[in-house]
Structure 1
Amino acid sequence: MASAIPVECQMPGEDYDFQDVTELFVEAGKEIKPDSIVFMHNFSLHEAMSALEIGEPRLDSGLIVQEQVRPPFDPLMLLLPEEVCWVLDRALAYETEFHAGNFLAHTVHTLLYVHHLHDIDPETISPSKLQHDDHDRPIELVTVVLRAAVQGLLKCCDMAWRELAKGAAYDAEDWQSDKCDVLLLEGMPVPFAISQLDDAIGWLFHAVEIPASWRAALRARLQLRKSLLQVMSTEPTKDRIEFQRLVFAAKEHLAMVKASPTIECGDDSPAALAFDPYIGRRLQTATPIRVIPAPSFEQTCETVSRLLDGLQEVGLLETVSDLSTWQIMGDLRMWLPEPPAQAAYIRSLTQTTFYDGFLVLSKYPFEWMVNRVFYETIGVRYDWIRANIINRWTGEEDPPLQKIERSISKLITPHFRALWYNPPRRRRHFMKALLEWHGLYDTLVQITDDLELEDLPRNHILAQLPIIALLWRLPIVREVVLSGFQLELYAPEERAFAYWYAARVIEEHLEYLDKVLPVVQNESPVYHEMVYQTHFLTALQTLCSASSLISMPLISFDWDRTRPNFFRRYKWAFRAEYDAYESPVICPPELHEFIRICGEILSEDDPVLTDYVELARSLLQGLVDANDTGAWAGLWASDRNQLVQNLISVCDNLSNLPKTSDEMAQFDAKSLKWDPAVHPWFPSLNTDSTA
């Protein structure tokens, strides 16, 4: 502990005749080797593991070692223009780290000007301190330019905090809400912060003593901050054109910032004192101090660019009233490895843009959403379905139409919001929602049983009402199963069943599409999308079947051990609440059926796996050649095409699988590699090991 006490510090208790016992402990510990423990009577391993190191930085944030001693911070210290640019860039870098889910105390609050805004306010500073003869370092760079930028930074963090606090993103899971009792200028109106930035930009136009290149660099950073604040304070559903204009303006200013990178400031620069990574010692927080290195200038610009791309995407989605497009978009952002996962702020803003708590897209009531669900699923509006149910009802009581409407309202809005949850929470939501979807299916079955349908064709849409719920539920089951690969949840011996079950679910889905397709109006968007889904899902099912077969050598075939693991993994499908419904669950996971299939495969010759892969590739290539991306992809048609191209790449890689039974017998399934960065669902084959 003696080496950790600064030389200039006085020994505590000098006024009370305390004695320094440091040397006593040093002498007593000479014979103890590093990392060793002195055991005493009744001092077991439990006590050793429970002991806390005195001065452990993670537990004792008050410990200040010599290397962390810093000179007092002077908020009015004069800075060169390039040093101010460096401070602004580093502050922006830490802001991106806050959006990445880190604490404010470890990121934005490390900028000491955040805590000294009052000290650099020109209206409160004495005139004598404002008078300086250093023309290279005008004090206005601090009191006008830097102050306005810090205010804009804090106000942007305030806007982000307000959005994230709405509950669409989860505190401590997606982001950290602890402000550490530091104000984010919550009481400052956004227009005032913007006016301060305008004043700073105007001052730079007339600051002829500053080199033109650095004036342009500073203006670009202030304009970027201004546009970020403007776009974050504009609701896309209420001012669509202005929101999109501001996003494009921010992109232009970011390009100007990229074109004028700053010079890295060394430790001897006064600007280096503007950041204190250990500021948490002086804040009201219980969070252990964590030093987060600031991203590089290039990394920061790339992160801000992705943030603006996400904002632009929100603005585009807001113009779309097709639920299927929202579904496709949410799935693509999960299924495509690029671009990277969006920040919690973007995901939260997307959710609140879709549903603000009262209206869908801030203009549509639930009645519109129910009609839209039925139309985009089977090509018929709910109003028509409702009228025909009433006319053909034969039950003793009134038809449970309100129950249907409540179920859909309860299911659909959370479903679309869940598309922008983080991946684990999204999967958990879908697993829980499957029970409610089955309840809707059961209600539709009961309604169909009490309808007079004898004078209608067998494939009439009224006779197939339960399929509506299944066309939503089965894709969710498929997503739950396949997302387990993306989240790397499955042990090697679990993969074969997961692929086999996914193939069964897709097969069931295809059967219901075949039943509904003949009654959907030709050339309608619904018909076009169903045809696309038929081709795409057939290819996906084939790939799942092939992946199940090549994963079977990884199974232990110890069924007594497999059964408990199976019921733990698929417990969402065996909830006791399912017993309350009369209708059986469609396509539940069945281990006994999988065991039977495995026995049949083992007793026969190995199938030619490359045939499965070639079939899947031909179907996918057909979609690419026909430039078919379905009816609802819209502005994201290229992303949907990229999804297909990625699956074609999987097929090309797996085409190197053994082609004969003898070759398959010698094939080592451990050469398969499951890497979500390569593909979220399917393995890649190490071609070197199969050569």
Structure 2
Amino acid sequence: MPEDDLAEEAARLTINGDNSDRGDLGFVAKRLAQEARQTLSSSGGSRGIRDVTEEFTVAAKQLQPGQLVKDEYFTLFEAVGALEIMDPKMDSGYVPLGDTLEPDFDVCKGLPAEQVLWIMDELLRLTAVWHDGYPLSQTIFTSLHVDRLLSPDNRPPYQLSYGDMTLRIMTVEEQLVHIVLRAYCVALVKSCALVLHTIQSQNFYEEEDFVTHLFGRELLPSTGANDAIKLLDEAVKFLDGAEVRQVMRAALLERLHFAQTYISLLITNSADWNTLAAMGRLAETHKLAQPIPEAFSDKVQRQLATSTPPRPMIAISWDEALQRWTEFCADVVEADRLTCFDVCQSPHALHRAIWAFAYREPQPNTFARAYLQTILFASEQITEGMAFFDLMLTDMRDLALAGDVLADPQSFLIEMPSDSRHRCSRIIEMFMDKAFDEYMNLYRMVCQNRCRIRRTFTQSVAIFDSLETEAMKTDAELESITPGIVLPHEDGSGKVALNPLTSWVKYHRLQTMAWTTQLGFETDIYLPHELSMMYWYLMVFAQRRCKLVEHIERFLAARRKRFASSRDARPDDEAAASQEWLAVLHKQADFEASLSSALWQLTELLMTLGILQPPKRDYAQEQLLYDVRMKSYLGIAHDPIPTLEEYMSAAQSDQSVGETCNNVNSTIADAKGCLAFLKKTNPEQGKYVGTEEQWKREIKQLETTCVAVAVQTSQLRRVADKHGKLVSVARDASMKGMLEVSIPLPGSRYHGWWVVPQIRERKK
């Protein structure tokens, strides 16, 4: 279009008369006309092309992080126009020159045994990738044989061929496809349906953990899993008499047997997932396969019910796929082992076992975590003879009511309304009904991914806080029926009661608050300058837990004195076991308080010296930043968290570098003492039955962390002494240029929950 005509056409957009009601439409039209003239004049009447990538990169570097550039007149039309048609990355309908819209591979034709073997192995590889969370459209659905089976125009019995082809006129190669490969594909598709059922029946997060979308396809709804097993049996019988080389027959049979075992385990939820020996044979015979990549195509995605552009097929090696299958089977076997009868008898041992499972390396995939949830929550009881109610009551008894008649299971069987035990048990049952869902979440939510564990436990803090109010009311009702032990207050100011249910809820709230903070360190959501504040709060949470356990221990000791004159030794034995458990909890809280105190003092010293500094934020306010970071805890009504002013007051110190280093070393020594105590506990005392190896490994990691803190403190002290700053006031920032600090990333720490800054002397 000539320049004048283009300008005139743009000018027509201007609305004659008063444009006040039309906003800046007239201005936009004038701007378009002006840009058209400039473009045409600069290119001599024809549009030129210039690569502006380098200029754009240079300009982008001038922007500050988070700074936005906005053009008020960059319209939606212009934004859509920026999407390039005929670009394979953006246009799902784009077909390159010389290519076809649909794949032209004939799935009905016969294939040699070597190529059938390769297709079966490729499907096994893609299934492993699908288990890792990639969509079916990128993995199994890219198989043209599977696509033919799932095609909407295919009807039961879901044959690969269209016509009346019978087995009598098929060649051996065609039979390998229509009998062996078809049975394998059908079994694989039905196993996918069973996996999806297991995952969708439990807690998981769509897209984040696993993609359950079927993209408009159905997974052979008219064929059952048992029908798929029958097809595999028929394929095995065919191979037994087929004219196929012995070595190839054995290789194909191994894959059919693997498919049989896999789908059978999914049907029965059997504990016999130890199929690693079969995988070893698969690895040995894979070299016999002959690749036929045209049997798979990402063009299938064009026919699926999805609006997203085609994505590339995932590429992992055969060895990596077998490794993932090996880890997958090992995770399921471990899930069965960690939920055995002995482990499930103790709520604390079971909870530790679930944490141990969640922290397996690499992290179990979504199906394995859903499988563990199925074992725990698919029925009305955790294990034989241990219902959910009994699990929760055992937790209360172990922690706060050991040997007390209130938590005795026999008290809940009394039906005489005039009996105080009957009345108290009904009151406790009503409270347990209110707390049940959140208590079970302590087990269920650990089966999620790390970020979701932290987010869910963050929400649990407020729920436990509200439950504490209910517990206080329940304790008051129980006290009015059966008055409990009253002891002098620790500070001598009056009397104090145990309030067992309140103490039980408060313990779980404080423990959950500590978990959310520690998971924040593991998921690396805290900036380096926030480490000091968060470790200080973690220390406060641990100290409060210590005081609570001490409170419970005092009443347990008083209760045991009453048992001395009793003929029934059972309550005293129960109280003695609880006393050992409380001693372990006390040492764990002491260790947490000591190590977090050491890291708080160390990082706070680095902040004071100016070595760790917050980023420059001209409009930031300390109180607002505090409110955002501590938002999850600000609404706590019982034992509110310390305010920002209290933290700032604790952080202000005139201690010298040497004095601070001495304090750090002292608290690290206390932490090591706690670990020494924990190492001596047996599985029954420490409630880590079934997770003995994980317990030892974690103790070793924590010992290494303590050593690392001491080493970094010594490094800081050495540099300060070298430059004569050991006795200077910590606020002297002249050491800023002497040291440099790096924060280890997740995965490179001695323990994921404890971040030890790496201090080095700056090179001149």
**What's the TM-score, normalizing by structure 1?**
0.82
Q: Is the 8 A contact 2:472 2:499 kept in 1?
A: no
The equivalent residue for 1:5 is none
Matched to 1:645, the amino acid is K
Residues of 1 paired with 2:439 and 2:599: CA distance? Answer: 32
Matched residue, 2:238: 203
2:26 alignment counterpart:
none
Provide the C-alpha distance between the structure 1 equivalents of 2:444 and 2:203, rounded to a whole number of angstroms: 8
1:319–1:283 CA distance, 2 compared to 1 (3 A): same
Q: Output the amino acid matched with 2:596.
A: C
Look up the SS of the partner of 1:606 in the other structure: helix
Q: Does 1:287 align with 2:323?
A: no
Does residue 564 (structure 1) correspond to residue 624 (structure 2)? The answer is yes
**1:342-361 deviation per Cα after TM superposition (whole angstroms, max 9, x unaligned):** 21122222223322375555
Match of 2:38 in 1: none
CA distance, structure 2, for counterparts of residue 594 and residue 391 of structure 1: 53
Q: Aligned residue for 2:285? A: 260
| Range with greater deviation from structure 2 (563-572 or 614-623) | 614-623
C-alpha separation in 1, matches of 2:553 and 2:78: 69
Is the 8 Å Cα contact of residues 614 and 655 (structure 1) preserved in structure 2?
Answer: no
Please name the residue that 1:272 is paired with. Answer: 293
Distance of 1:455 and 1:123 partners within structure 2: 79
Deviations 1:81-102 (A, max 9, x none): 2322221121122112222222
CA distance in 1 between counterparts of 2:160 and 2:437 reads 55
SS state of the match for residue 623, structure 2? helix
Q: Return the match for 2:514 from 470, 474, 478.
A: 478
**Offset, 1:628:** 5.9
CA-to-aligned-CA distance 1:9-36 (integer Å, 9 cap, x gap): xxxxxxxxxxxxxxxxxx9977322458
2:187 is the counterpart of 1:138: no
Taking a change above 3 Å as real, the CA distance of residues 495 and 66 of structure 1, as seen in their structure-2 partners, is: farther
Q: For residue 327 of structure 2, what is the aligned residue in structure 1?
A: 306
Q: Which residue is 2:353 aligned to?
A: 329
Once residues 66 and 438 of structure 1 are traced to their aligned partners in structure 2, the CA distance between those partners, rounded to angstroms, is 65
Q: Where does residue 152 of structure 1 map in the other structure?
A: 187
In the alignment, what sits opposite 1:32?
A: 49
Distance 1:616 1:188, change over 3 A: same
1:539 aligns with 2:598: no
8 Å Cα contact 2:739/2:760 also seen in 1: no
Report the counterpart of residue 639 of structure 1 in structure 2: 694
* 2:448 alignment partner, SS class: coil
1:239 maps to none
| Residue 639 of structure 2 corresponds to residue 586 of structure 1 | yes
Preserved CA contact (<8 Å) 1:621 1:648: no
- Quote the offset at 1:292 in angstroms: 2.9
Separation in structure 1 between the aligned mates of residue 669 and residue 246 of structure 2, nearest angstrom: 62
Conservation of the 8 A alpha-carbon contact between 1:620 and 1:644: yes
Q: Cα 1:72–1:597, aligned 2, differ >3 Å: closer, same or farther?
A: same
What's the counterpart of residue 14 of structure 1? Answer: none
Partner of 2:582: 530
Distance across 2 between alignment mates of 1:657 and 1:629? 36
Question: Where do residues 409-428 of structure 1 align in structure 2 (5 Å cutoff)?
Answer: 409-428=436-455
Alignment of 1:337-376 (within 5 A): 338-356=360-378, 359-360=381-382, 365-376=387-398
Q: What is the alpha-carbon distance in structure 1 between the residues aligned to residue 166 and residue 623 of structure 2?
A: 81
**Residues 482-493 of structure 1: matches in 2 within 5 Å?**
482-493=518-529
Identity of aligned residues (%): 17
> Given the alignment, which residue of 628, 634, 652 partners 1:574?
634
Matched, 1:186 2:230: no
Residues 532 and 629, structure 1, Cα contact 8 Å, conserved in 2: no
Deviation at 1:42, TM superposition (A): 10
Q: Could you tell me how far 1:556 is from its partner in structure 2?
A: 5.0
Change (3 A) 1:511 1:139: same
The more displaced of 417-426 and 73-82 is 73-82
Are 1:316 and 2:337 counterparts?
A: yes
Please say if residues 61 and 288 of structure 1, whose CA atoms lie closer than 8 Å, have aligned partners that are also in contact: yes
Superposed displacement of residue 221, structure 1: 1.6
Of residues 180, 199, 202 in structure 2, which corresponds to 1:164? Answer: 199
Residue number among 668, 673, 676 corresponding to 2:744 in the alignment: 673
Tell me the residue number matched to 2:28.
none
Structure 2 counterpart SS, 1:656:
helix
TM-score after normalising by structure 2:
0.74
Residue 494 of structure 1 corresponds to 530
Paired letter, 1:280: Q
Contact 1:355 1:413 in 2 (8 A): no
Aligned amino acid, residue 548 of structure 2: Y
Work out whether residues 382 and 388 of structure 2, in 8 Å CA contact, stay in contact via their aligned partners in 1.
Answer: yes
- Correspondence for 1:663 among 712, 719, 725: 719
Aligned residue in 2 for 1:75: 107
Question: Residues 437 and 149 (structure 1 numbering): CA distance in 2 closer, same or farther, change over 3 Å?
Answer: same
Question: Deviation at 1:325?
Answer: 2.5
How many matched pairs? 635
Shift of 1:637: 1.4
CA distance in 1 between counterparts of 2:285 and 2:137 reads 29
Q: For structure 1, which runs of at least 5 residues remain unmatched after alignment?
A: 1-26, 236-242, 579-583
Cα distance in 1 for partners of 2:45, 2:326 equals 59
Query: In the alignment, is the contact (CA less than 8 A) between 2:142 and 2:296 conserved in 1?
Result: yes
| Letter matched to residue 719 of structure 2 | E
Matched, 1:103 2:135: yes
Report the Cα offset of residue 111 of structure 1. 0.8
1:3 aligned partner = none
Q: Compare 441-450 and 408-417 and name the one that shifted more.
A: 441-450
C-alpha deviation, 1:370, in angstroms: 3.5
Distance of aligned partners of 1:369 and 1:42 in 2 relative to their CA distance in 1, 3 Å threshold: closer
Alignment correspondent of 1:22: none
**1:379 Cα deviation after fit:** 5.3
Q: State the alpha-carbon separation in 2 of the partners of residues 273 and 652 from structure 1.
A: 57
Give the distance between the partners of 2:593 and 2:740, measured in 1 at CA.
Answer: 20
- The 1:110/1:597 distance shift into structure 2, 3 A limit, reads same
Is the CA contact (8 Å cut-off) linking 1:327 and 1:416 kept in structure 2?
A: yes
Q: Give the distance between the partners of 2:265 and 2:405, measured in 1 at CA.
A: 39
Q: Decide whether aligned partners of structure 1 residues 671 and 123 sit closer, same or farther in structure 2, where only a CA change above 3 A counts.
A: closer
Residue 223 of structure 1 deviates from its aligned partner by 1.4
| Residues 407-427 of structure 1 deviation map (CA, whole Å, 9 limit, x = unaligned) | 221322233211112222222
How many Å apart are 1:399 and its aligned residue? 8.8
Q: How far apart are residue 199 of structure 1 and its match?
A: 2.0
The letter for the 2-side match of 1:567 is: D
Asked if 1 retains the 8 angstrom alpha-carbon contact of 2:464 and 2:505, the reply is yes
Any idea what SS the aligned residue of 1:177 has? Answer: coil
CA deviations on 1:181-230 (whole Å, 9 max, x unpaired) are 222123322111111112222322333x3233322222222211111111
Q: Deviations over 1:415-462 (max 9, x none)?
A: 321111222222221111212212222233334445257773529985
Q: 1:284 to 1:362 in 2, by over 3 A?
A: farther
Moved more, 375-384 or 198-207: 375-384
What residue number does 1:240 align with? Answer: none
- For the residues of structure 2 that align with 1:414 and 1:77, how far apart are their CA atoms? 53
Pairwise mapping of residues 422-501 of structure 1 onto structure 2 (< 5 A)?
422-449=449-476, 451=479, 456-458=485-487, 463-501=499-537
2:660 is paired with a residue whose SS is coil
2: CA distance, partners of 1:61 / 1:382: 69
Offset at 1:502?
0.7
Q: Give the one of 259, 267, 270 matched to 1:233.
A: 267
Structure 2: runs of 5+ lacking an equivalent: 1-43, 56-70, 489-495, 558-571, 726-734
Counterparts of 1:290 and 1:496 in 2: how far apart (Å)? 44
Contact kept, 8 Å, 2:683 with 2:689, in 1: the verdict is no
Q: Contact 1:503 / 1:541 at 8 angstroms: preserved in 2? A: yes
Deviations 1:235-282 (A, max 9, x none): 4xxxxxxx123x12x33322322333335745xxxx211111231101
Conservation of the 8 A alpha-carbon contact between 2:339 and 2:350: no
2:402 counterpart of 1:380: yes
